[in-house]
Amino acid sequence: MHSCGIFLRFIVNRQKNELCYESKKDNGNTIVLNKVDLYRESHKEMLEAFHEIYEGAGYPVMEVSALTGEGIDALREACEGHVSLFSGVSGVGKSSLIKALDPSLDP
């Protein structure tokens, strides 16, 4: 699994900006973990801890795999009718997720 540095900076900045707008409790953000087919078994405890920490902080966590299609339908449903931002370091599969959600797109 990649370093969480960029992810944590994104969360902190998002939270800081949220304070200015007094947003509702449901912040509309979801953390999407791609490529779970590669690490679910080998990093089971880390994944459980990740869920516990971030879901406990109010961020839903989805596990998906653009390669196998696992979780893609649920992600597509969660994105429907919303503007979505996919963020992450190079190689996490942002483009693959977009193509899996809508094969007609070519990011």
Q: Judge whether 88 and 7 are in contact, CB under 8 Å.
A: yes
Which has the closest alpha carbon to 60: 37, 96, 33, 87? 33
Read off the tokens for 70: 């696992």
Do 62 and 29 meet the contact criterion of CB atoms below 8 Å apart? no
Cα–Cα distance, 70 to 7 (Å, whole number) = 22
Mean pLDDT of 20-48: 77
pLDDT digits (tens, 9 = 90+) for 68-104: 999 999 999 988 888 888 887 888 889 999 999 998 9
Report the candidate in 61, 58, 31 with the shortest Cα–Cα distance to residue 48.
61
Contacts of 34 (CB under 8 A, 6+ apart): 64, 65, 66, 88, 92, 93, 94, 96, 97
Residue 21: band (very low, low, confident or very high) from pLDDT cuts 50, 70, 90: very low
| pLDDT, tens digit (0-9, with 9 covering 90-100), for 37-75 | 998 888 899 999 989 988 888 889 999 999 999 999 999
Res 70: pLDDT: 95
